[in-house]
Structure 1
């Protein structure tokens, strides 16, 4: 998951470099007389990597536009907190300042998608981001008897 503008810019550059490299590799394999099927088989892992990177870039761009669901589950709240920060245009350093913690702490929390964070911590982050959400139980984990 891309979490910062710097990571976003680097990922976009890697996508461009990766596409250029794939194009060069395709020409090299064609010049060796390989069939289309052989070329596709040879480049399939690299294409998969490139697609994964493009999807991460697209995800970050969706978050910046606010294209996400405001309903959170206990399973996705950490990822949503990162998305909300990106949407608000707030850096990790600024969020750290608002929370009264260090930027490396916010970076660790986001890298771990707030795993193990208390509900109080989640509420503090939401307040710092000025976001209101609906928190619902995770699908498939209904309370006994319901």
Structure 2
């Protein structure tokens, strides 16, 4: 989840609108010059390479706000981003969550930026309580390995136990 606040949502939405205006302007100019459709599409893409990514981020945020995601069950490896989604869905700002937890807003922002990486069960439980979530089922998810970890040990050539 890339967008974590209403302010970020509005900023990206404005960027998308500006890209759309620029793309429309380029399309019109190229059509008037007699350019073919493939060239026009390429030029539109060049106007905003991040356009599709921004649009996807907006759609994801809008779905979360509308509650269009699995709220009651989450794979363990997605717990952090799920806590962010729950906060957004509940309409609670980072500042309000910080007040409820007795921490600073910059701390919440930092935690969310890294999707609560390495969060303890106790902290997750405090956040869920602050959000008014009474039940959340956490299920086993993908096994996450350290970046650069190898499946074999170099010295012995034996398989590592996972």
| TM-score of the superposed pair, with normalisation by structure 1 | 0.87
Bigger CA radius of gyration: 2
Partner SS for 1:72? strand
Question: 126, 130, 141: which is aligned to 1:128?
Answer: 130
Residue in structure 2 matched with residue 61 of structure 1 by the alignment:
62
* Structure 1 unaligned residues grouped into runs of 5+: 142-146
- CA distance in structure 2 between the aligned counterparts of 1:45 and 1:123, rounded to whole angstroms: 46
What residue in structure 1 maps to residue 53 of structure 2?
Answer: 52
Q: In structure 1, the residue corresponding to 2:77 is in which secondary structure?
A: coil
Residue-by-residue CA offset, 1:1-54 (whole Å, 9 max, x unaligned): 111111112222222111111111222333444321122223335465222212
Partner of 1:109: 111
Does the CA-based 8 Å contact 2:9-2:58 persist in structure 1? yes
CA distance in structure 1 between the partners assigned to 2:142 and 2:115 by the alignment: 19
Contact 2:64 2:88 in 1 (8 A): yes
Instruction: Show structure 1 runs of 4+ deviating over 4 A.
Output: 45-48
Aligned to 1:138: 141
Shift of the alpha carbon at 1:88? 0.8
Aligned residues of 2:98 and 2:105 also touching (Cα < 8 A): yes
Q: Which moved more, 1:103-112 or 1:38-47?
A: 38-47
RMSD: 1.8
Residues 1-146 of structure 1 mapped to structure 2, 5 A cutoff: 1-46=2-47, 49-70=50-71, 71-131=73-133, 132-139=135-142
Unaligned ranges ≥5, structure 2: 145-162
The 2-side partners of 1:84 and 1:32 are apart by: 50
Distance (Å, rounded) in 1 between the aligned partners of 2:32 and 2:77: 49
TM-score (norm 2): 0.79
Count how many residue pairs are aligned between Structure 1 and Structure 2: 141
> Cα deviations across residues 92-121 of structure 1 (Å, max 9, x unaligned)?
001011111110000001111111111211
